[in-house]
Amino acid sequence: MDGNRRYADRSKIDRRSGHVSGYASLMKTLEACLNLGVEVITVYAFSIDNFKRSPEEVSALMDLVEEKLIALAKETELINKYGICVKLVGNTSLLPEAVQRAGKHAEAVTGHHSRSRLNLALAYTSRDEIRHAVECVRDDFVAGSRPSSEVNQDPHAQSSGRPFQAAIEEHLYTSGCPPVDLLVRTSGEARLSNFLLWQSSSACLAFCQALWPEFSFRHLVWAVLEYQRAKPWL
Amino acid sequence: MDGNSRWAKTKGLPTAFGHEKGVDSLLNLVKMCVRWGVVALTVYAFSTENWLRPKGEVDMLMGLFERVLQQNLAALERENICLRVVGEIHRLPPSLQRAVAEAHERTAGNTALLFTIGVSYSGRQDLVQACQALARKVSEGGLDPSEITEASISAQLGMATENSGWRGEPVGDPDLLLRTSGEQRLSNFLLWQLAYTELFFMDTLWPDFGEADFVKALEHYSRRERRFGGRR
C-alpha cells in the first residue's frame, strides 16, 4: 500500500489526508477483492522499519491506525456480507496500547467469521515473523509439547513429513492461511521490503505504478490478469 | 537464469542445446561482473523442485554441471574468482560432489568475485535448516534463547558467507535480483536475503542474455532509491 505521502504531495494536501485517502483505497480494494472471490487479503500497513521515521510522523500514523481500526470494526454491513475475520499480524507489542486495544476489539467483533480473512500487517517484518516463529517452536520443545526428536530430524528429508518446517509455519502470524498467490505493490517500487518472504515463494509479483490512493478496480483487474498470464493452465 | 527450454523450443532444438547456450550466457555474465566491479554473483542453476523433471534431462544437467566445472575451474582460478556451490550437495552424483569439493578447495581465498551457484537449492529449505540448527543449539545449551535473532539466522544459512572460502570484502544481502524470460516470481530462490533487494524482471530468454541486458539491469538499479522503510 505504497504511495500515500507522494499522493498527498502531488495533490497538495497534508500527509495525514494522504493516509486517509489510503484507508479509503483499502476499503474499496478490499470489497473489490472479496467480490472477485478472494478469500484472504494481507496488507502491509506499518513495518517495524517505519518506526525509524520521525517520532511526530510515527505518532500521527499510530493515531490514524487506531482511528481506522475502530472505524473498521464498525463496518458491520461489509463484515457480515463477506464473513470477514480481521487479524492483526505482526509484533503487536511494539504498538501503542491504544492501537493494541483497537486491534483486539476489531479481532473480537469479527472473530466468529470464517469465510474470508483480512490480515493487517502492523509492526511487521517477515524476518521478525520468522524469528518469532523459531522462538515459539523452541518454547514448544522446552514445554514438551513437541517431541525433541523433531529438532534433530534431517531438514532435507524427502518424506512427506517435514516436522520442523511445519512447526515454523504453524507459528507464523499467517498460520492457517494459504500461500500467497498474488502480491501487488503500488507506487512503482519493485521490492518486497521485508513483507511475506516465506509465504510469497511462488507468488506472482505485480508491481503497479499507481500510488496507493489511486489504486482502483481497473488496477486490480490488471493484477489479476498478470496472475492469469503467469498461470495459463488455470 | 530462466528460459533455456523455451529458447531451444523457439529454435526447434532439443532442450539440451538451450542449457548449453545457457552456460555460455552464464560464463559471459561472470566476466561482465568482474569487469563492472560486481563483488558477488549468485545464480539459481537447479532447484529442489527441478528433481521432478524427466530423468533424462536431470542426468543431462548433472553431467553438464560437472563438465562446465572441470572445463572452467582453471580460468576461474586465474581470474581470482571464489566459486562455491550451495544446496543439497549430498543429492548430487558422487562425481559431481567431488568436482564441487575440488572447486571449493582450489578457489578458496580468491577475492575478485564471490560466485555462488545454487544447485539442488531451496530458499525455504535453507531457512528451515538454519532455524532448526539454532533451535538445536539452544536445546543443547550451546546458545542462549535470546541469541535467536535475525542476525544469527542470517549467519546460519547455507548461503551465508561466514563459513565459505570467501576472503574478499564483506558481502551482504543482494542489491539486485534479476530474473529472465518474463516470469515474475521468486520460485523459492533466497527469500530471506531478498527482504530489501531491488527486483528486476526482463522478458529476454536466458540464452539470449548479453551485455545490453546486463547494462539495462544496472541502469534500472542505479535509478532506484532505497529507503529500507525510512523516509527520504
Cα A45–Cα A51–Cα A56 angle in degrees, nearest 5: 100
Cβ neighbours for A1, distance < 8 A, ≥ 6 positions apart: A22, A25, A26, A43, A44, A45, A186, A212
- Nearest CB partner across the interface for A190, out of B90, B124, B198: B198
Residue A160, pLDDT score: 38
All three cell numbers of A157, joined, read 528429508
In chain B, what residues touch A126 (CB-CB under 8 Å)?
Answer: 195
Residues A118 and A182 in one domain: no
Residue in B136, B188, B197 nearest the CB of A191? B197
- Please report the residues numbered 143 through 162 in chain B whose beta carbons come closer than 8 angstroms to any beta carbon of chain A: 145, 148-150, 153
A165 in contact with B, Cβ within 8 Å: yes
Q: Which residue of A has its CA nearest to B138?
A: A138
Return the biggest CA–CA distance within chain A: 61
Show which of residues 86-105 on chain B sit within 8 Å of chain A, judged by CB atoms.
88, 90-91
Residue A11 in contact with partner chain B when CB distance is under 8 A: no
Same domain, A82 and A66: yes
pLDDT digits (tens, 9 = 90+) for A71-95: 999 999 999 999 999 999 999 999 9
Specify whether A1 is located in the same domain as A12: yes
* Domains detected in chain B: 4-220 (3.40.1180.10)
Residues of B with active-site annotation: 2, 50
Same domain, A221 and A197: yes
Shared domain check, A189 and A149: no
ipTM score assigned to the predicted complex:
0.91
Q: Which residues of A touch B230 (CB under 8 A)?
A: 49-50, 52-53
Query: A74 with A58, same domain?
Result: yes
Query: Are A111 and A51 part of one and the same domain?
Result: yes
A105, A124, A143 - which closes a domain: A124
Residues A170 and A146 in one domain: yes
Q: Where are the beta strands (DSSP E) in chain B?
A: 40-47, 81-86, 113-121, 176-179, 198-201
| Range list of β-strands (E), B108-169 | 113-121
A4 shares its domain with A49: no
> Is the CB of residue B108 less than 8 Å away from at least one CB of chain A?
no
Cβ–Cβ gap A131/B230 under 8 Å: no
Q: Kindly state whether B138 is in contact with chain A, defined as any CB-CB distance less than 8 angstroms.
A: yes
Looking at the structure, do residues A26 and A89 belong to the same domain, yes or no?
no
Instruction: Go through chain A and tell me how many residues it has.
Output: 234
Containing structural domain, residue A226: 1-38+178-234
Closest Cα in chain A, distance from residue B123 (Å): 8
DSSP state of A80: H
**What is the per-residue pLDDT across B193-230, written as a single tens digit (0 to 9) for each?**
999 999 999 999 999 999 999 999 999 899 886 666 66
Distance of residue A107 Cα from the nearest chain B Cα, in angstroms: 27
pTM confidence score? 0.92
| CATH number of domain containing A197 | 3.40.1180.10
Q: What is the pLDDT of residues A156-206, one digit of tens each?
A: 554 434 788 999 999 999 999 999 999 999 998 999 999 999 999 999 999
- A136 with A187, same domain: the answer is no
Give me the number of domains chain A comprises: 3
- Residues A67, A142 within the same domain: no
Question: Cβ of B228 under 8 Å from any chain A Cβ?
Answer: yes
pLDDT by 10s per residue, chain B, length 232: 889 999 999 999 998 899 999 999 999 999 999 999 999 999 999 999 999 999 999 999 999 999 999 999 999 999 999 999 999 999 999 999 999 999 999 999 999 999 999 999 999 999 999 999 998 888 888 888 889 999 999 999 999 998 788 999 989 999 999 999 989 999 999 999 999 999 999 999 999 999 999 999 999 899 886 666 665 4
